[in-house]
Structures are given as structure tokens and as C-alpha cells.
């Protein structure tokens, strides 16, 4: 049975991520952990607040969190009950990224699925987004970031960008292999190239990757980077009608090195399809 964590702030984006999880793993045995974290506003903690007053604030936040989680659980059990799906709720007094990190360990989480929303202009780069903070903080568990407007139907094509500079193993690719195998989907391995000819080392890593992916259908593609890696990848995904972008969250990834851009963050906000971030195990 898979343990899947569903962080929620009860927003439309969070609900969409929950529905995506239910559809994506409709026929799988899953235990879904609904997580809400809460923190009092800084303004409520400043000034001459008594310990009793702070206690009231925390108690109020806790009760509201439990109430909203209870409503969510009731709705899911009433409208989306399946014999192969279990639900539980967790309310944690902490920021989202630390609460998620705690749950990953305590609940032995296999996958985190949470919603995100895209930036609509140059001034709207949501540095404070819960999703991006979790992606940066939680480096031991796969994270599926689901755009708020995305309507999941099926998983047929997955884009996997890489520069073939790292060793690949089935452990770090396990969640991707499980998902692709379950849906009998295709992996489009994408090299966003600055140099047209791969080095001998890259060729060797291509062979290693092919061995890891031998159980699923996959193909290799190379495109020239015109603007930046994130845009090139998302355009390729759109042109090929992909349903998901998957990448491994290596420290100082090749994309960051090539373009000096925070690729995880940009994809997380601008991709119109879900982004699966795999940990570097």
C-alpha cells in the first residue's frame, strides 16, 4: 500500500491536487494522509501578549484546522470512498515545509501531492509558495506539484529532462517507473543541449538510463536551448502533449548551472501540467 501525503490549506488548488491524486491512483491501494499545518500571524505574536492570549490563539487555530480537516474527510468518505483507499487526517502546528518533513518520517510517506498556482506576470514570482518551499526543503521524498487549473484525465506521456551527467539508479527512479508502468505511459527523455554531440561520459550515462528504463517504453529527444531550460522543457512538453514533467532534484542541477536560473521554482510556477520532483537518493 502506498502512503500518499496530501497537504491542504483547503483552497481550490489544494482540492484539485487531492482530486488528481484520487484519479491518478484510482486502482492502487493507497493510504491518503490529509495534512493541514497552521501558524499564527506574526502580528498576533508581537507586542505585550500574555501567555494565556497566545494559548487562546493556538487553540483557536487548532480547532479550526481540525474542523476543516474533518469536513474534508467527511466529504471524501461520502463521495469518493473506495475499498482500496484509506484516509486519515493530521493537524500540525508548524509551517508547511516542516510539517511535511515531519509527516514524511512519521507516516513513511512514498509520495507528496500538493497544488500550486502559476505566476501571471513578472511581479508575481511566488517565492513564498508552500509548494516551492516544500520542494526546496524536503529532499528525501518524491513531490508531485499540480497546477490549480490542471484536469487530470490519464497519464500517457512523461517528459524527463536530463543532461546525462549523473549516475542513474532504479531507487531514485522508482516512483517514476511505478507511475509510468501503472499507466503504460511513455517517457520522453529530453536533452536540452548546448553542445550537439554528447561526450563519452554522457553516452555511458545514456546506456545506464536505458537499462534502468528497460521495463517501460521510452525514447530520446534533443532540442536546442533558445531562451532557458525551463521554457524549452515546458514548450517541448506542450508540443508533445505530455501529461507530466519529471526531473531529479540534484543539488546544483545541470539546469541551474547552465542558465543560472532556479529551474525547479520556474517549472513549479509556469508549467501547465504536473511536475514530479524526484529526490536524489
Q: What does the pLDDT look like over 108-154, one tens digit per residue?
A: 999 999 998 765 544 444 434 778 889 888 989 999 999 988 999 99
Looking at 30-39, 80-89, 128-137, which range is the least confident one? 128-137
Q: How confident is the model at residue 20 (pLDDT cuts 50, 70, 90)?
A: very high
How many C-beta atoms lie closer than 10 Å to residue 107's C-beta? 16
Confidence check: pLDDT of 29 > 90: yes
| Cα–Cα nearest to 87, from 130, 30, 41, 44 | 30
Proportion of the chain above pLDDT 70, given as a percent: 81
How high is the pLDDT of residue 124?
A: 40
The pLDDT tens digits for 256-274 are 554 456 667 676 667 889 9
Instruction: List, in sequence order, every beta strand (DSSP E) within the chain.
Output: 2-7, 30-38, 85-93, 111-116, 143-147, 157-161, 186-193, 217-224, 244-249, 275-279
Q: Which pLDDT value is given to residue 177?
A: 95
* Rounded mean pLDDT, 169-179: 90
Rounded (5°) CA angle 172-176-177: 95
pTM above 0.85, yes or no: yes
Instruction: Give the pLDDT score at 218.
Output: 96
Q: Per-residue pLDDT averaged across 93-110, rounded?
A: 95
Which candidate, 124, 146, 206, 121, places its Cα nearest to that of 24?
146
Give the DSSP H/E element, type plus range, for residue 254: helix 254-259
Q: Give the pLDDT confidence score for residue 39 in this predicted structure.
A: 81
Residue 199 DSSP one-character state: P
Residue 42 pLDDT: 52
Q: What strands lie across the sheet with 111-116, from one edge to the other?
A: 85-93, 30-38, 2-7, 111-116, 143-147, 275-279, 244-249, 157-161, 186-193, 217-224
Q: How far apart, in whole angstroms, are the C-alpha atoms of residue 10 and residue 68?
A: 8
- Confidence (pLDDT) at 194: 61
Amino acid at each position: 500500500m502506498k502512503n500518499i501525503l496530501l497537504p491542504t490549506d483547503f483552497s481550490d488548488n489544494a482540492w484539485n491536487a487531492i482530486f488528481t491524486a484520487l484519479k491518478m491512483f484510482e486502482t492502487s491501494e493507497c493510504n491518503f494522509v490529509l495534512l493541514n499545518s497552521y501558524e499564527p500571524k506574526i502580528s498576533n505574536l508581537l507586542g505585550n501578549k500574555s501567555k494565556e492570549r497566545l494559548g487562546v490563539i493556538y487553540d483557536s487555530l487548532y480547532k479550526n484546522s481540525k474542523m476543516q480537516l474533518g469536513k474534508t474527510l467527511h466529504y471524501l468518505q461520502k463521495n469518493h470512498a473506495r475499498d482500496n483507499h484509506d484516509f486519515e487526517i493530521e493537524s500540525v502546528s508548524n509551517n508547511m515545509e516542516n510539517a511535511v518533513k515531519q509527516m514524511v518520517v512519521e507516516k513513511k510517506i512514498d509520495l507528496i501531492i500538493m497544488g500550486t498556482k502559476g505566476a501571471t506576470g513578472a511581479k508575481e514570482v511566488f517565492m513564498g509558495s508552500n509548494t516551492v518551499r516544500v520542494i526546496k526543503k524536503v529532499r528525501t521524498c518524491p513531490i508531485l506539484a499540480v497546477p490549480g487549473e490542471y484536469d487530470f484525465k490519464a497519464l500517457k506521456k512523461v517528459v524527463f529532462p536530463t543532461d546525462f551527467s549523473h549516475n542513474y539508479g532504479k531507487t531514485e527512479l522508482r516512483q517514476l517507473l511505478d507511475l509510468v508502468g501503472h499507466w503504460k505511459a511513455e517517457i520522453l527523455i529530453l536533452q536540452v543541449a548546448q553542445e550537439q554531440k554528447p561526450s563519452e561520459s554522457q553516452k555511458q550515462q545514456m546506456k545506464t538510463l536505458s537499462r534502468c528504463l528497460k521495463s517501460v517504453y521510452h525514447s530520446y529527444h534533443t532540442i536546442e536551448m533558445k531562451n532557458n531550460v525551463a521554457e524549452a522543457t515546458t514548450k517541448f512538453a506542450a508540443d508533445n502533449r505530455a501529461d507530466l514533467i519529471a526531473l531529479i532534484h540534484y543539488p546544483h542541477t545541470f539546469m541551474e548551472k547552465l542558465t543560472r536560473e532556479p529551474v525547479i521554482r520556474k517549472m513549479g510556477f509556469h508549467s501547465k501540467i504536473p511536475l514530479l520532483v524526484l529526490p536524489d537518493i
